[in-house]
Structure 1
Amino acid sequence: MGDWLIRADVLARGRFTVSPLAETVAALLTLAGAGCQPGREPWLRAHGPAFRELLARDRFAALFVRAALRPRWLPDFLVTPPRPADRTFADELRWLRATPDEAVLAQLAEGADGAPPPSGLRVPGLGERIAALLDQVWTRSVRGDWPRHRRAFEADIISRTQALSSGGWAAALDGLRPGMRWLGDGRLRINAYPYPPRELATAELLFIPTTTTRGWVAWDEPHRYAVVYPCAGLLAGTDPEGAPPPALRALLGGTRAAILTELAAPRSTTQLVALTGFGLGSVGGHLKVLRDAGLVTRRRSGRLVLYYRTRLGDELVAP
């Protein structure tokens, strides 16, 4: 099985984080037809035609997408985990730009069972050309939504971290991505393929949410390993069409309308803070008003208090 053997000190240092490059790769996969997370269909309809036009006029981009985005495989240079000092998309992209041509070609051949890449990809400056393609995807299809997606990812991280503190790694990693589960005793089942176990002795271990449908694993051996996973539920797939309607904002005010809209699934106060960008005191005060009005109720789940809409709240938010 594809298991990672994780030492206790590596596990203790493991952390959840966000990655603009990982989200850009997730967007590239969606645009290339590798699945679309529920709720992302409007985004795909908005950006898909321009991406197809790009591939039609840029032969290198079309060949690269076909060679690099294969079922159950991605080249390492495309999904290298972020370094500790990386803060922006440009920070992460500069490592891809520096990838030697021979390393790019070797990894593409690996994904094709040893067959050499097509002649259109055997050109100088591969790292720069691939980075330019990703920069276009980021600029045209990801950057405008990144602040909202980042808040959604941070809310998911808060939820996972709270689960970790109350139930350990088994609770935090439960259902993280299809086929993966925590087996205990430092063993993380990555997938069901018959790969030899991979020992993480001194590496940094990262968990990165994105809008991908299945996620992937990545490494920069022996320094960093990462599990990229689908952000929980429809959290990352929220579309501008799901924003509070004007009538609801006029009735409740913008802040309360936004909070009520986000409670389509149960959320903790800290998740709502991350999702909406409002302060903790503000969110708490508005939740009390919504509860008093019968639009929101709450229940305890372990150490968490989760808020969710009542039937009346659902009817009020419904179109």
Structure 2
Amino acid sequence: MIEFRFAVGDLATTSFAYSPLQEAVFSLRCLHDPARYPHHRPWLRCIRPRLETLDRELLTAVVAPWLWVPDFLTPRPARARPAFADELDVVRATPPDVVGADIRATYRTPEALPAVLARGLAEPVALLARLADAIDAYWHTCLADDWWPRVQSILEADLAYRGRVLAEDGVGALLAGLDERLSWTGSELRLSTRDFMVQTSWADVSIDGRGLVLLPTMFARGAQPLIDPARPPVLMYPARGRATLSETPPPVTDEALLRLLGRPRARLLLLLAEPASTTELAHRLGVTPGAVSQHLAVLYHAGLLSRTRSGRIVRYTRTRLGDELCRR
């Protein structure tokens, strides 16, 4: 059991975020053990030829057999929706001694270190540069164009759902509802480690005014902390709706809905039970953003969708009227 201890005021500094860098690094777990991540199999089949052009030896080595990764590769986000490039800059600035310490902590014993990492630790500055370059190439070759828009949509929907839970049921229900491993006592967030592949050597984390950041991820079966309890506290938890990544768009089975809206708009309305942007919807449906935008405008002006802006991104979701129409 790990206990995250909250003092007065610590709940006020608890926040949610998601991290494209974290998801990129955690996705390397799929290369290590694809059977654990069935929802990513279509993506894995698609990217397999591209992996041959990358530094695959190093990319797979950073994931230990028990699926830990070095903490410096997943820095705590500085804001709710950081850019991949900004996060990678943080990684590139990691002190050499931290690189070595985090890699050794991940593998626990010198004998377990893969040869490529054991050699690289002799020159940690060069190893860090090689790692950052390899992750950057992996992101742009395998993730950024097709995979990330779908994943980002799921993570955005998770954050929107958590906001509704907080507003309607309070912080206790919010924290305990993140994962079945978690329970909230009123002053402590308890994380059961009973089913961890490898047990941590520590059991307590004091928030101590540092703020706890909660991060949804596509690559965890349950809530998990960082390896190093001295780092600013972070807790990753399984993203709600992650199984939808491998789903095809739902068929339109209601003939009345089809006659009323037409197939393209009916499919969009069914997809928008959770927020998504024009680009995310276009990726999911395999059509152009322009085509999606025209249909979204019609549905929005008909009162079936609402929209919210986050920076330059506009996300749509169904209104109550849209929900009622989909239930008929």
Deviation at 1:149, TM superposition (A): 2.5
Counterpart contact for 2:216–2:238, Cα < 8 Å: yes
Aligned to 1:91: 86
Q: Measure the CA separation in 1 of the matches of 2:27 and 2:184.
A: 31
Q: How does 1:19-168 map to 2 (within 5 A)?
A: 19-33=19-33, 36-51=36-51, 53-54=52-53, 58=55, 61-63=56-58, 65-71=60-66, 73-84=68-79, 87-115=82-110, 117=113, 118=115, 119-122=118-121, 123=123, 124-144=125-145, 145-168=147-170
- Cα distance between partner residues in 2 of 1:67 and 1:149: 22
Structure 2: stretches of 5+ with no match in the other structure = 194-198, 253-257, 282-292, 306-317
1:85-124 CA distance string (max 9 Å, x none): 9731110001111123332222222233341743432334
1:224 corresponds to 2:232: yes
Any conservation in 1 of the 2:120–2:126 contact (CA below 8 Å)? no
TM-score (norm 1): 0.72
Which consecutive unaligned segments of at least 5 residues does structure 1 have?
288-295, 300-304, 314-319
The two structures have a TM-score, normalised by structure 2, of 0.71
The answer to which of 88-97 and 216-225 deviates more is: 216-225
Deviation at residue 236 of structure 1 after TM alignment: 5.5
Please give the per-residue CA displacement for 1:123-144, whole angstroms capped at 9, x wherever unaligned. Answer: 3422211111211221122211
Q: Is the 8 A contact 1:216 1:228 kept in 2?
A: yes
> Are residues 249 and 114 of structure 1, via their aligned partners in 2, closer, same or farther at CA, if it must alter by over 3 Å?
farther
Following TM superposition, by how much is the alpha carbon of 1:226 offset from its aligned partner in structure 2, in angstroms? 1.9
Contact 2:39 2:246 in 1 (8 A): yes
User: Could you tell me which amino acid in structure 2 is paired with residue 126 of structure 1?
Assistant: L
Secondary structure of 1:82 counterpart: coil
Distance 1:16 1:195 in 2: 24
Give the Cα separation in 2 of the matches to 1:207 and 1:11.
12
State how far apart, in whole Å, the 2-side matches of 1:46 and 1:171 are.
39
Per-residue deviation at 1:68? 3.8
Indicate how the Cα distance of structure 1 residues 28 and 112 shifts in structure 2: closer, same or farther if over 3 A, else same.
Answer: closer
Distance 1:167 1:175, change over 3 A: closer
Q: How many residue pairs are counted as aligned between the two chains? A: 283
> How far apart, CA to CA, are the structure 2 residues paired with 1:64 and 1:259?
39
Native 8 Å contact 1:249 1:257 kept in 2: no
**What CA distance in whole angstroms lies between the structure 1 residues aligned with 2:172 and 2:26?**
25
**CA–CA separation in structure 2 for the residues paired with 1:107 and 1:40:** 27
- In 2 relative to 1, CA 150–283 (structure 1 residues): closer, same or farther, beyond 3 Å? farther
- Quote the Cα distance in structure 1 between the aligned partners of 2:39 and 2:251: 16
* Equivalent residue number for residue 266 of structure 2: 256
Q: How does 1:156-305 map to 2 (within 5 A)?
A: 156-177=158-179, 179=181, 181-192=182-193, 193=199, 195-214=202-221, 216-218=224-226, 224-234=232-242, 237-238=245-246, 241-242=248-249, 252-262=262-272, 267=273, 271-272=274-275, 282=300, 285-286=303-304
Shift in CA distance, 257/84, structure 1 to aligned 2, threshold 3 Å: closer
Whichever residue aligns with residue 304 of structure 2, its letter is H
